[in-house]
Amino acid sequence: MEIINLEGTEETPKVILDKDNGIFEISGRSLPEDVRTFYQQVLDWLDKYAAAPNPETKFTFKLEYFNTASSKVILDVLTKLEGISGAKVIWYHHDDDEDMEEAGKEFQDIVDGLPFEFKTY
Amino acid sequence: MKYVYELHKTMIANNLILVYEGEFTQDITKSILAMAERNMDAIGELGGVKRKVFSVMVECLQNIVKHSEELNEKDEDGLKNNAIFMLGKQINEYIVTSGNPIRNAAIPSVQAKIERVNSLDKDGLKDLYKEIIKNTEISDKGGAGLGFVDMARKSGEKLGYSFEPINDEYSFFALKIIVPRSE
């Protein structure tokens, strides 16, 4: 399966989606003006991946900032993951960033069929 | 040239560390954010405060960018999509303020959104955030309808706002968000 590997910028996150090596990660900053265009490639990739997923999918979110439009598409990504058996979210937040921790917990409440593990960095 | 000095004094008197007036685009948003971030880094601002100010600024600036596009046709007053953005730094708080023209017809819905947010406490805002994020779709302008709620949550205080009439079609929408400088 194709690998998505996007370098992060000041407004878009770093994205790695690599089925063969079992690496699934969105990290950095997400505040693009047009979130739909940026995240569509991620959602499309997940649709393909969902047809034949690995037995285990540990999806890492390690975000520093995201705008509210990104929060909606992050929920879309999490909702897709909820439908993939063996998927799990590793939600990182900076050790003094309570807002990011709370954001993760709120997503966990909404997408209640998807396990979350919280870690600090 | 006296206005230069007057403006300088006004900025100092109001503790304004950043003022931008003009056209707003995503690139300009990024530049303003970078300047504010450098300023807060330079004084060693607390990480949590810095992130809250940054978040509030992002929502505020992207609101202007998104909603000014509909005013793109330049009218005879040269109104266009010019807006103002200011960041003030007091001893106990940062003050993010913005002002931009909006159509008079849009005032009731904007006012209703802000009033709803201002009527809620911390838990009420959390519930509203969850309700909106579950049911919203990204608009054609790229928004999720969560901006005011998120600003209020990051601020912890009521959003300040006013509408000053410009003419029959437009008013000037001013918005003020306070971010306390303690974690």
Alpha-carbon span A94 to A63, nearest angstrom: 9
CA angle B84, B72, B178 (to 5 degrees): 25
* Per-residue pLDDT tens digits for B2-18: 999 999 999 999 899 99
Q: Tell me, what's the ipTM? A: 0.92
Q: Do B183 and A96 touch (CB under 8 A)?
A: yes
d(CA B127, CA B116): 12
The reported pLDDT for the residue numbered B78 is 56
Cα(A46)–Cα(A80) distance, rounded to whole angstroms? 7
Q: What is the token pair recorded at B96?
A: 């993010």
Does B37 contact chain A (CB < 8 Å)?
no
Residue A35 banded pLDDT, cuts 50, 70, 90 = very high
Q: What residue ranges do the domains of chain B occupy?
A: 2-180
Q: Which residues on neighbouring strands pair with residue A14, listed in sequence order? A: A27
Distance of CA A114 to the CA centre of its chain: 12
Q: B133 and A110 in contact by Cβ < 8 A? A: yes
CA of A83 vs chain B CAs: smallest distance (Å) = 17
CB burial readout B83-118, b (16+ within 10 A) else e = bbbbbbbeeebbbbbbbbbbeeeeeeebeeebeebe
Q: Is B36 on the interface with A (CB under 8 A)?
A: no
Residue B76 has pLDDT above 80, yes or no: no
| A21 Cα to chain B: minimum distance (Å) | 32
- CB atoms B59 and A68 under 8 Å: yes
Reply yes or no on domain A4-120 having CATH 3.30.750: yes
pLDDT given at position A9: 95
Angstrom CA distances, B62 to A7, B1, B83, B107, stand at 23, 33, 12, 18
Structure tokens at B146: 């969560």
Quick: pLDDT tens for B152-182: 999 999 999 999 999 998 999 999 999 999 8
- Return mean pLDDT, chain A: 96
- In the predicted model, is pLDDT for residue A54 greater than 90? yes
* pLDDT reported for residue B69: 61
Sheet holding A23-30, edge to edge: A4-6, A14-18, A23-30, A57-66, A87-93, A116-120
Task: Map out the domains of chain A as residue ranges.
Answer: 4-120
- Over residues B29-59, the pLDDT tens digits come to 999 999 999 999 999 999 999 999 999 999 9
> What average pLDDT does this structure show over A22-46?
96
Measured CA to CA, the distance from residue B10 to residue A69 in angstroms comes to: 35
Percent of chain A surpassing pLDDT 70: 100
DSSP 3-state of B176: strand
Searching chain A, which residue's CA lies closest to the CA of residue B66? A33
Predicted local confidence at residue B143, as pLDDT: 85
The predicted-structure confidence for B121-136, as pLDDT tens digits, reads as follows 999 999 999 999 999 8
Superfamily of domain B2-180: Histidine kinase-like ATPase, C-terminal domain (3.30.565.10)
Contact B180/A at CB under 8 A: no
Residue-level pLDDT at A69: 94
**In this complex, do B138 and A72 lie within 8 Å of one another by their Cβ atoms?**
yes
Nearest residue on chain B to A70, alpha-carbon basis: B144
Beta carbons of B142 and A69 less than 8 Å apart:
yes
- Which of B55, B132, B183 is the best substitution to test chain A (most A C-beta atoms within 10 A)? B55
